[in-house]
Structure formats: C-alpha cells, structure tokens
C-alpha cells in the first residue's frame, strides 16, 4: 500500500511565515517529498527557496520540469508557473491561470491526488479567498489526508476557513504542531480508499492535461459540467459549471478555472472597472462638447454653441450619477456575504 510520502502545501497572503515555521521543524531524515505553491508575483523568482534554505534543514529549490521526485526535498512552484506531479517526476508549466493565479494551489493538489491517491497529505495555510479548497476536496476523495492551519492564527484566514467549510478535514492545527504531526503521519500505511469513479477520473485527467505544455485542450472540456450564463473574466470565453459535492466551480473552454467565490470577486471587480471606464468616456465627451461649444461661440453661432454647452452639462450630470453608483458598489465574496448573514 505504501506510505503517505507526498506532501502538498498551498498558501497565499501571510503564508510565508507559516511555511517557514513548518519547514524549519522538518528533520533531515524526513522520508517524504514536500511540494509548495505560494501565490507570488512573477518578479519574486528564487525568494522562497532562499528564505527556506537559510533556516531549514532540507534543501529547497524552485522545481524544474521533468525533475525526478526525491524524499527529503522541498520543491517550490516557480513564479508564473504551475507545479504538477506525475508518477516519479515533476511538471512545471505555464498553463491557464486558476483562481486568478499562476502558480495556483488547485492544479498541484489535483495532480497529486490523481497520481498518488492515498499517499497524499494536503495542507492549506494562510491566504485570501479559496484557492486549494477544490484540490483538497479531491485529495480526500482519493483517500488522502487534509490538514488546515488553525484560522485564528493565520494572518489571512479565508483559505483555511474555506477548506474547513467545504472539506471533511482530518486535522485543524497550529503551524507549530504540523511538523510533529507529519513526522507521525508519514510512518503510517496508506488506506485503499478511493471514492472516485472511472468517469470522474477521466474528467480529472482532462483538467490536468489542460495545464500541460504541448497538450491540446480537450475538445469536450465544456462537457466537464453544465454550460453557465457566465463568461470567463480572463478571456471572455463560455464558462462551464462543474459540480463537486456541495460546491460549484467554473472552467472555460480555453482552460481558465475559478471557484464560485473567486468568480464572484472578479465579476464585482469588473463592475467597478467598467463604471470607471464609463465615467472616463462621459467626461471625454463632456470636454469635447464644451470645446465645440467654444468653437461655435467664437465664430458667432451662439444658438449652436448653447446647444453644445447644454449637452455638455447633461453629460456631466450623467457622469455624477455614475460616480454615485461607484460609491455604492460592493466588492463581494462568499465570506463577506456569510459574515453579514451571521
């Protein structure tokens, strides 16, 4: 059956300190491999391995495509690249973003669950929104274990809280308790539990293939779920709604993927951007109308000039109304709405 020796970790805002504390307590004889996705800017190449190697006992490095998986190593998703796992090796790709991020947590968790099943331990640390929840749910479905940082100690609690709401988590502990827990868990034999069907496994494989270089996007990617009325905020393609347990997530035919919460956040962000674009356009028309009014006034056509000035005034009034709408607009998320409902 084998041991639980594939450990995948996802973190975002506030996650660096948690990752440092966790990996600092991992012993040199640790008989498992650790894979980390931390949401970062593309310009931060090499910063996380440098931080971990200064204070940890196990070598950390940005993962390299086709690299062999070895125990006692810490593999980190490079900036602007997804980290995926295959049998015995690593894939590093620039596939479509998921939940607005590349690297994203869900592709790592999904590929680990598909390839290694019950040998996987998934960990969610500090971060905003809910990247990693879908992947952690799949890890559980494939017989692996789920660990979540205690939300009260996380710098940003949204990712841990989302995982606790949506996934049957095995352990919710402080970061200081994680290393001792992992040392214990990797010595245990794996179970044979796998609750996914052959059809579900085929769908999982299709989603993994979307992220791989040289792979053609499956022609029936939209068949992974039901067509929705929403469009992808990244490329404006049609989104398919994929149901998993009690949750719904979305993927477009070009490959971008979103949780419902992330999609809601992006849609409400786009509303504000669109409103400001409307204000800018109206203001430009106001200036043009005023300039034309000045022109007709200068050439002694006061009646025409008056009409232009009147239209400019009306446009300015419309711009002020849109400004009022912007001031009332809310940036929404599942978390903010649920907090209001309490």
* CA 251-65-148 angle, 5° bins: 55
Answer for the pair 264, 332: CB distance below 8 angstroms, yes or no.
yes
Are 256 and 235 contacting, i.e. CB atoms less than 8 angstroms apart? yes
Residue 138 near residue 200 (C-beta atoms within 8 A): no
Looking from the CA of 143 toward its CB, the CA atoms found within 13 Å total 19
Identify the residue whose tokens are 């948690």: 18
The DSSP secondary-structure symbol of 77 reads P
- Annotated catalytic residues are 12, 39, 131
Quote the pLDDT of residue 45: 75
What does the buried/exposed string (b/e) look like for 12-48 if buried means 16 or more CB atoms within 10 Å of the residue's CB? Answer: bbbbbebbbbbbbbbeeebebbbbbbbbbeeeeeebb
What digits encode the pLDDT tens for the residues 186-208? 998 888 778 788 888 999 999 99
CATH topology of domain 6-185: Rossmann fold (3.40.50)
Structural domain boundaries of the chain? 6-185, 262-341
Torsion of CA 210, 73, 38, 216, to 10 degrees: -10
- Mean pLDDT of the residues in the chain: 91
Q: What is the pLDDT of residues 1-21, one digit of tens each?
A: 689 999 999 999 999 999 999
Contact 253, 237 (CB under 8 A): yes
Residue 336 has pLDDT above 70, yes or no: no
Structure letter (DSSP) for residue 153: G
Give pLDDT, residue 273. Answer: 85
Q: Are 210 and 160 in contact (CB under 8 A)?
A: no
Helix (H, G, I), strand (E, B) or coil at 75: strand
| Mean pLDDT, range 58-64, rounded to an integer | 95
Residue 130, H or E segment:
none
Contacts of 304 (CB under 8 A, 6+ apart): 296
Residues 78-97 have pLDDT tens digits of: 999 999 999 999 999 999 99
What percentage of the chain has pLDDT greater than the value 70? Answer: 94
Q: Is 179's pLDDT higher than 80? A: yes
Contact 57, 128 (CB under 8 A): no
pLDDT band at 332; cut points 50, 70, 90:
low
pTM of the entire structure? 0.86
- The string of pLDDT tens digits covering residues 71-80 is 999 999 999 9
DSSP state of 150: -
pLDDT band of residue 217 (cuts 50, 70, 90) is low
Q: What's residue 92's pLDDT?
A: 97
The per-residue pLDDT for 88 is 95
240 vs 30: CA distance, rounded Å:
41
Residue 331 has pLDDT above 90, yes or no: no
Q: How many CB atoms lie within 10 A of CB 102?
A: 21
What stretch of H or E contains 38? strand 33-38
The token pair that represents 81 in the structure block? 């690249």
């Amino acid at each position: 059956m084998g041991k639980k020796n594939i450990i995948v970790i996802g973190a975002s805002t506030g996650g660096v300190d948690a990752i440092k504390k966790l990996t600092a307590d991992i012993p040199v004889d640790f008989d498992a491999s650790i894979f980390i996705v931390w949401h970062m800017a593309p310009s931060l190449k090499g910063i996380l391995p440098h931080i971990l190697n200064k204070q940890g006992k196990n070598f950390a490095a940005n993962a390299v495509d086709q690299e062999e998986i070895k125990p006692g190593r810490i593999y980190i998703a490079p900036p602007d690249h997804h980290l995926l796992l295959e049998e015995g090796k690593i894939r590093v790709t620039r596939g479509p973003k998921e939940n607005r991020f590349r690297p994203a947590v869900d592709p790592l968790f999904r590929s680990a669950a598909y390839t290694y099943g019950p040998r996987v331990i998934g960990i969610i640390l500090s971060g905003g929104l809910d990247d990693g929840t879908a992947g952690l749910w799949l890890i559980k479905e494939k017989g692996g274990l789920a660990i979540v940082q205690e939300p009260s100690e996380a710098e940003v609690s949204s990712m841990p809280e989302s995982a606790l709401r949506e996934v049957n988590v095995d352990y919710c502990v402080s970061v200081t308790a994680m290393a001792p827990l992992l040392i214990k868990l990797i010595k245990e034999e794996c179970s044979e539990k796998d609750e996914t069907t052959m059809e579900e496994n085929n769908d999982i494989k299709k989603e993994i293939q979307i992220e791989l270089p040289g792979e053609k996007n499956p022609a029936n990617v939209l068949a992974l779920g039901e067509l929705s009325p929403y469009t992808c905020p990244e490329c404006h393609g049609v989104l398919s709604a994929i149901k998993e347990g009690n949750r719904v997530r979305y993927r477009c035919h070009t490959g971008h993927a979103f949780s419902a919460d992330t999609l809601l956040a992006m849609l409400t962000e786009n509303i504000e951007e669109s409103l400001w674009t409307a204000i800018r356009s109206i203001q430009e028309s106001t200036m043009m109308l005023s300039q034309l009014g000045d022109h007709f006034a200068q050439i002694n056509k006061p009646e025409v000039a008056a009409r232009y000035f009147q239209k400019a005034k009306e446009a300015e009034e419309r711009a002020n109304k849109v400004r009022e709408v912007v001031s009332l607009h809310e940036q929404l998320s599942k978390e903010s709405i649920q907090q209001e409902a309490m």
